Amino acid sequence: MGLMAFLPVLAIYVGERYGITDPVELTFWGSLVYGAAPLSAAIVGPVWGALGDRWGKKVMAVRANFAICITTAFMPFAPSIAVLLVLRMVQGALAGYVAPAMSLVAQDAPAGRQGRTIGSLQAAMALGAGLGPLLGSEVTLLYGRHAVLWCTSALTGIAGCVLLRYARETQPPKRMAGVSFFSEFRQACRSLLGNRVFATLLLLILLLRLGQNMLEPFVALFVRELGPPSFMLNVCGSESVALERTIGMAFTILAVAQVVFTPVWGRASDRLGPLRCLSWLALVLGATQIATATVEGIGGFLSLRSVSACFMAGSMTLAYAAASRRVQPERRTFAFSLVQSCMQFGFALGPWFGSHLARIDATSEHANLRLPFVVAGSLCVASAVGMLALRRVSTGRPTPGVGAPPVEGL
């Protein structure tokens, strides 16, 4: 909830805080600041994952929450956009709480219930993500955008305290006697990345996340371009207030869909196989992204976003479920951190690609945000085709180098 209170409006915050009015320049700096944290998290994440397998998942989850708390608290004091960029990079490098959190909830789940178990955690995360934009818009209206960052810091600090007090690790970490961390890290890399099916799966997840996240930092800008719906104007009375709440609603749609549909995707994963479900998800998501490029009004955008949200809801659950079935329990946190790194690379590089595409044929009033929707959708479709092909060659065959029994459909 804390993170999603400020992430949806980060591009607007950058423009207001540092006086950037040119729309093309704003998309560039907005994407750079937005993507800095996930990029550094993607690079450093595997190290935290390996440390989680060695020292414990709970320690890593607590550390990550307090790191986000501290770095976010300093962001309102950033005197320049360069300092804010550095703080976002530090925040990402010290974060990485999703992989240990997933490992904590999956530690006791049998193989046939991995999808539902992971889906339950994602549903809880989605509930916070749904409340976050609403909280952020109200805090902004009452106290200004700076207050949203302090609100984020407070909420992540509370989350760290709750984890520290109540989280339990039922499977203690297994350290190899007489083996250094770096030797164990290299051995884990060879074991997992040497598995061709798992390595290909990582690349396809990266491709899907590039398409899925290419436009997320610019949704607020796109909504501002389309304007608020008439019913929101009637309720709010002011166009600026209606616009803030429409932006919050655009992101809340995602969270509501995750709460409702994540358990559905989890059950489908256990019954049909996560890779098969993930390929269907990518195909429909790609089609809706391409269709979004043709909308003329805010009503059409919100309708297509609602459809996309139902399928976005399963992407994280299915990716982790596919990885969980292919690795040994003692390597699970590291494997999850590799999956998370692929997602974070997509989270970071997608907006960067989107900002460059937005410069093509940009008008004097708005950046061209429609072309990136087409490219993003095409990437999702390409990922779907690759997953279908991967499932065809891997179904029912043993996966070498990992030590887990083969599971049909990954």
Tell me if 338 sits within 8 A of 49, measured CB to CB: yes
pLDDT confidence of residue 405: 38
Q: Among the residues of 227-273, which ranges form H helices?
A: 230-236, 239-272
Listed in sequence order, the residues at least 6 apart from 213 whose beta carbon sits closer than 8 Å to its beta carbon are 346, 347, 350, 351
Residue with tokens 């029994």: 405
Q: How far apart are the C-alpha atoms of 95 and 48, rounded to whole Å?
A: 9
**For residue 99, is it left (φ>0), alpha (ψ between -120 and 50) or beta?**
alpha
308-347: per-residue pLDDT in tens?
999 988 888 888 887 777 666 667 777 888 888 888 888 7
Condensed to tens digits (0 to 9), the pLDDT of residues 17-33 reads 999 888 778 878 888 89
In this prediction, residue 141 carries a pLDDT of: 85
Judge whether 3 and 91 are in contact, CB under 8 Å: no
Nearest in space to 365 (alpha carbons), one of 250, 221, 239: 221
Predicted pLDDT at 280? 93
Say what percent of the chain tops pLDDT 90.
Answer: 21
Q: Best-predicted range by mean pLDDT among 100-104, 113-117, 169-173, 271-275?
A: 271-275
Which residues have C-beta within 8 Å of that of residue 62, sequence separation ≥ 6? 160, 163, 164, 167
Q: Nearest CA to 39 among 354, 341, 380?
A: 341
DSSP string, 46-89: HHHHHHHHHH-HHHHHHHHHHHHHHHHHHGGG-SSHHHHHHHHH
Please tell me the pTM assigned to this model. Answer: 0.69
Q: pLDDT tens, 268-306?
A: 888 888 888 999 999 999 999 999 988 888 989 999 999
Q: Mean pLDDT over all residues of the chain? A: 82
Residues 6+ apart with CB under 8 A from 322: 201, 274, 275, 278, 410
Tokens of 37: 């944290």
- Average pLDDT (132-139) is 85
Please say whether the beta carbons of 204 and 382 come within 8 A: no
DSSP 21: -
Residue 6 has pLDDT above 50, yes or no: yes
DSSP 404: S
259 vs 36: which has the higher pLDDT: 36
CA dist 231 and 313 (Å) reads 27
Question: Residue ranges of the domains in the chain?
Answer: 2-166+179-394
CATH dotted code for 2-166+179-394:
1.20.1250.20
Give dist(CA 247, CA 399) in Å, integer. 45
Tokens of 214: 């290419």
Confidence (pLDDT) at 5: 86
Listed in sequence order, the residues at least 6 apart from 154 whose beta carbon sits closer than 8 Å to its beta carbon are 2, 69
